[in-house]
Amino acid sequence: MNAGRSYANSDVIHHDTERLEQVAAYLLSHEAAQNLAETFKALADPNRARLISALAHMELCVGELAEALEMSLSAVSHQLRLLRDLRIVKSRREGRHVYYSLDDEHIVTIYKCGLEHIDHA
């Protein structure tokens, strides 16, 4: 075990260099941490969580989402734009309608794992 550096409270921190090297190999880069934090921040909004819960089951257009969630079209569109920018949802046009769905299975997994986590408590 190698001696570590001293901090302001004058406690000496001891660390094992090998363990720190192992941790460093798995530590997120600042950019990856920022991107992950932005994704979870987007999921932290209750209205967006409800949008995701609806889209986890089927593809829906803005009007259907607005009616189901009892929100205005503009509010739903705003939330969907944010989710699309973060690649949480994707859209496709069919005639005059734009349909939204979850971007991929990773988002479905995050959603389901989140539900399992809160049900587990």
Encode the chain (121 residues) as per-residue pLDDT tens digits.
Answer: 445 554 555 566 777 899 999 999 999 999 999 999 999 999 999 999 999 999 999 999 999 999 999 999 999 999 999 999 999 999 999 999 999 999 999 999 999 999 999 998 7
Residues 6+ apart with CB under 8 A from 91: 80, 84, 98, 99, 100, 101
Q: Where are the chain's structural domains?
A: 45-120
Is domain 45-120 in CATH 2.60.40.60, yes or no?
no
pTM of the model: 0.79
Residues 6+ apart with CB under 8 A from 13: 4, 5, 6, 7
Q: Is residue 63 within 8 Å of residue 73, measured between CB atoms?
A: yes
